[in-house]
Every structure is written in C-alpha cells, then in structure tokens.
Amino acid sequence: MKRVFRRYAFALIAFLSTVLITLFNREIGMKTFIIAEDSLKQMLGVLPPVMLLLGLMDVWVPRETMMKYMGDDSGFVGIAFAILIGSLAAGPMYAAFPFTLVLLRKGVKFSNVIIFMNAWCVTKIPTLIFELTALGYEFTMVRLLMNLPGIILMGYLVERFLPRDERDKLYMDAEKIQQQSG
C-alpha cells in the first residue's frame, strides 16, 4: 500500500490541491478539471497506438540490429536513424518516453537516444508540414537547418557530461522495467 501511495503521490496531491482550489474559487477549479479531462482524453487517444507500435518494434527488431545501426559504433548512420525515427513520430513528447525505454533496452548509443528525443520534439514531419503551409518554405528550411546541428550537438553534449555511472544506471533501470513488466 505504501509503495502504491508513493508511486501515485504526485497525482493524488495534484488532485487534492485542485479540489482545495475549487473550494476557494469554483471557476478556476472547474477550469483545471476540464483541462485535466481534455489532457486525459488526448493521452488515451495517443498512447494505445504508440504502445502497439512500440510492442511491434520491441518484438520484431532484434537487439543486435539496433546495436548495429544505432549502437556505439554506428557513427553517422546511428545519428541519421535517430533523427529519422524521431521525425516520423506523431504525438506529444510524453509518447516518446516508452520508445526511449525500448531504445535503451536495445543497447542504442546514449547520444542517439538523446538525438531521437530531440528530433521527436523539433523535426516531426507533421509539424514540418504545418510549418510549410503556415509559415512558408524558407522559414521551415532555415529553422530545420539551424535545429539539426543543435539536435546532434545536444546528444553528444548530454552523453559527454552525464557521468558514465548515471548512464549505466539508466540502461540497467530500463532492463529492470522490462523484467518487471514481462
């Protein structure tokens, strides 16, 4: 029971805080509940397809293949795959975290994991299409060409400055989560 409470403590505190706010200011409290409901609906619409694709990737793509194309010795190919996978993504950033977990379990180089996450945020194809139509070709290309080096640089900087033992812990935690869930 204590473990469950600790796991959901933040959500419980947020809920109780919203109830408390509602008691003092009904309008703000109700707006908060409506926003939370909309976010929950969005999440329930996004996560099932993401989890399905994630499960397929986890089963169909062997660890050796991921390590070959995105592992420590993957070089430019690993960077390109990380950007491509992140760019093909659809959905909000929280949907990237389960993919990140699979990448860690599959032995993907840490900088490529960070590059994937950055690409998910910055270079998604649906976002680029919107930008093209709303802001024009020139703006979209300039932004993209400015962001790509930053995405790659950020991946290598995070890998460089995150202590090795912390990175190893992330990989081990990803393995533990897989063992606990299956």
Shared-domain flag, residues 70 and 36: no
Residue 56 lies inside a defined structural domain of this protein: no
> Do 12 and 88 lie in a common domain?
no
End-to-end CA distance of the chain: 22
Structure confidence at residue 53 (pLDDT): 77
Whether this prediction's pTM lies above 0.85 is answered by: no
Q: Which residues of the chain have pLDDT under 50?
A: none
Query: What is the residue-wise DSSP string for 56-94?
Result: HHHHHS-HHHHHHHHSTT-HHHHHHHHHHHHHT--S-GG
Instruction: Decide if 115 is inside a domain.
Output: yes
> Is 82 found in the same domain as 23?
no
